[in-house]
Structure 1
Amino acid sequence: MNLSEKIELLIKRKQLSASQFADKLGIPRSSISHILSGRNKPSLDVVQKILRVFPEITAEDLLFEDRTLGSVAVAKEIVPAPSTPSLFDPILPTPSESVKNNSPEQTIVQSNLRRTRESSHVERNSNVPVTASVANPTYLEKKIERVLIFYTDGTFSESKPQS
């Protein structure tokens, strides 16, 4: 049984529609539709979300074609996927940043963000002792400086928060 068939079986055993299943995983409904129709194969991201939301399923049972899903409990409570962060939420490092973002561009961006978080407030506030800035969380607070919007015609607009 291939991975797409196992996903279809899991949806049936959990008594969910494909749309409900996609919503539980926090992925687009079209992704599940394409997987079930055979158009696309499940991505690593989809597999990881299935394993996170349905902890009773082992990775081996899900991934290896010679294994079956066994008896997946129907009444098992489903853990909702984390919500998508807002543009204005603070940037917080996660322990698995390097695992999730392994493309060179994303890795560079993440390392620059991390470096900025660790050192920028000390550089900008050079007259503030490091111990004082660490002890006082107001110095660590991130605030939006400006927002740039780039358009497909090559123009852009800039917005700054009102002081």
Structure 2
Amino acid sequence: MNLSEKIELLIKRKQLSASQFADKLGIPRSSISHILSGRNKPSLDVVQKILRVFPEISAEDLLFEDRSLGASLVSNVAKEPIPVASTSPSLFDAVSPTPSESPKNNSPEQTIVQSNLRRPKETAVPTPQEVPAAPSVPPRLEKTIERVLIFYTDGTFSESRPM
């Protein structure tokens, strides 16, 4: 019996739905769906969370194909597993943008970027002895800034072009 089949058996013996199982582990529901359908194999992180939430299962019984899950998997209402904190937000969790990510703030940042693009360079005036001979650069080889893109974590972006 492979690991995906053992996870499916564990879900049945604990009398949980796939969604409830994913919620107990603190992983996205789609991850369990992909594991059960055979699309993906369980990651080490998923295996560790299973062992943490269901301490009655031994790692050897879960991981080795020649071992079967013990009879201790019968659902026990009195024993509640320790909840595992999710390290990444679920697809279904509402994420509110921070003030710097809010669409209202795109304009001031764009103004700051544009003002920095137009700011003259502050340089000290060299004395005639310090001025090296500048090489002649043809205009077509000079690099100029065409545009600046700023990407935000919510999938939006702002664009600035020098004037």
TM-score with structure 1 setting the length: 0.53
Identical-pair percentage: 78
Residue 85 and residue 33 in structure 1: after superposition, are their counterparts in 2 closer, same or farther (change >3 A)?
closer
Q: For 1:82, give the aligned amino acid.
A: A
Distance (whole Å) between structure 2 residues aligned to residue 153 and residue 19 of structure 1: 31
**Which deviations, in whole Å up to 9, do the C-alpha atoms of 1:83-110 show, x marking residues without a partner?**
5589xxxxxxxxxxxxxxxxxxxxxxxx
> Match for residue 106 of structure 2?
none
Distance (whole Å) between structure 2 residues aligned to residue 84 and residue 67 of structure 1: 31
RMSD between aligned residues: 2.5
Q: For 1:18, give the aligned amino acid.
A: A
Residue 65 and residue 83 in structure 1: after superposition, are their counterparts in 2 closer, same or farther (change >3 A)?
closer
Distance (whole Å) between structure 2 residues aligned to residue 153 and residue 58 of structure 1: 46
Higher helix share: 1
Whose RCO is larger (CA < 8 A, sep 6+)? 2
> Match for residue 74 of structure 1?
75
Residues 24 and 53 in structure 2, CA contact (< 8 A), matched pair in contact too: yes
Question: Size of the alignment, in residue pairs?
Answer: 97
Gap regions ≥5 residues in structure 2 = 90-98, 102-150
> Match for residue 5 of structure 1?
5
Distance (whole Å) between structure 1 residues aligned to residue 80 and residue 18 of structure 2: 17
Distance (whole Å) between structure 2 residues aligned to residue 37 and residue 61 of structure 1: 21
Residue 80 and residue 68 in structure 1: after superposition, are their counterparts in 2 closer, same or farther (change >3 A)?
same
The 5-angstrom pairing of residues 13-162 of structure 1 reads: 13-71=13-71, 72-75=73-76, 76-84=79-87, 149=101, 150-151=151-152, 155=158
Distance (whole Å) between structure 1 residues aligned to residue 14 and residue 4 of structure 2: 15
Deviation at 1:73, TM superposition (A): 3.4
Gap regions ≥5 residues in structure 1 = 87-146, 157-163
TM-score with structure 2 setting the length: 0.53
Task: Answer with 1 or 2: which has the greater Rg.
Answer: 2
